[in-house]
Amino acid sequence: MVNHGISTGALFLLVGVIYDRRHTRQVEEFGGLAKVMPIYAALFIVATLASVGLPGTNGFVGEFMVITGTFVSTRLGHFNGVQAVGAAIGVILGALYMLSVVQKMFFGPITKPENKRLQDVNQREVIALAPLVLAIFLVGCSRTSSSRKSAARRTAW
């Protein structure tokens, strides 16, 4: 849950940034933002990739542990494999949705004239987002004590 809070917290902050500039959250109102807001686009893509569970980010740790834990569980009966496949399909569908939103918002032509004048993130916003982006990679690239404890519990069962 901590990992989910880190990546979704970053996404909520980033949605607040764009809402402050355009006063809308409708994806259709955006397009081509990477051209005028490259730092914002990079931060949003990092948070999105963490949220969909890209290896090396904090989201991967939790999703990998849930799916593998479900698959090897003896307490779920004979349907543990089916449930693990269902969880994996959910991860894939979530990734498809989030990546399609990223494509619509940031890539392609600038679809609205209002978007041509948008300011990129300022120093205050970068300072607010930096700890979350740092945590995304620190948690994703480190083997934590909780994963060692989880491995010990799996072998004990």
Low-confidence residues in the chain, pLDDT < 70:
143-157
Neighbours of 145 (CB within 10 A): 8
Strands, E assignment, 8-152: none
Q: Which two tokens stand for residue 57?
A: 């980010």
Q: What is the pLDDT of residue 99?
A: 95
What confidence tens digit (pLDDT) does each residue in 106-143 have?
998 998 999 999 999 999 999 999 999 999 999 888 86
Q: Are 133 and 43 in contact (CB under 8 A)?
A: yes
Q: What is the pLDDT of residue 40?
A: 96
Q: What is the pLDDT of residue 111?
A: 86
Q: Whole-prediction pTM value?
A: 0.85
Q: What is the pLDDT of residue 130?
A: 96
The C-alpha atoms of residue 26 and residue 21 are separated, in whole angstroms, by 13
66 to each of 81, 85, 108, 137, 152, how far by Cα in Å?
A: 12, 11, 35, 19, 16
